[in-house]
Amino acid sequence: MGNAGSKDKPAGGGTGAAAAAPAADGAAAVDGASKAAQSKVCLDDFVLLKTVGKGSFGKVMLVRKKDNEQVFAMKVLNKERVIARKQYDHTLSERKILGNIVHPFLVGLHFAFQSKTKLYMVFDFFNGGELYYYISKGRFTEERARFYAAEICLGEFFLHLSYD
């Protein structure tokens, strides 16, 4: 949610921090199609294309999955920073929620896995970036503001219906 770009599949870019559910090898597929197959992924399954953002916990990178050429956004979080900033529960909640939602106005989490020091979350990539970036650049037309407000409201409404 909150992305100003179009949601062209396969695309990926996301917000939201999420911890990987522990698995024997630290990897878990969380998208609907892959859940059934319980496919496991790791960093070696992706080609790292470029860094698209940096934050206090880690960075977001544009990646391509090697087996099917799909493009995603991979958020990489430093475990020590997440724990030091007392964001562990928040991170687990986001991973759980984002891994279970399918909605056109919300960022989908497709895969989550971990190493000894990092958490990896693989999201839809939205070409166009964050809505916050566009807001900081100036005003929208009233029509565009209504459009984004409607998308945000519908996404929030869906989350409340799903998790209340």
CB atoms within 10 A of CB 95: 22
CA distance 31 to 33: 6
Residue 127 confidence (pLDDT): 82
Instruction: Estimate to the nearest angstrom the gap between the alpha carbon of 123 and the chain centroid.
Output: 4
Per residue in 34-63, pLDDT tens?
A: 443 447 999 999 999 999 989 877 899 999
pLDDT, tens digit (0-9, with 9 covering 90-100), for 102-159: 999 998 999 999 999 999 999 999 887 778 888 888 888 999 999 999 999 999 999 9
In this structure, the chain runs to a length of: 164
3-state class (DSSP) for residue 75: strand
Predicted TM-score (pTM) of this structure: 0.73
d(CA 78, CA 111): 17
Q: What beta strand segments (E) does 58-161 contain?
A: 58-65, 71-78, 109-114, 118-123
In order of 27, 30, 45, 66, 141, the CA distances from 39 in angstroms are 9, 9, 12, 14, 44
Q: Is 104 helix (H, G, I), strand (E, B) or coil?
A: coil
Using alpha carbons, list the distances in angstroms from residue 64 to 107, 134, 138: 17, 26, 33
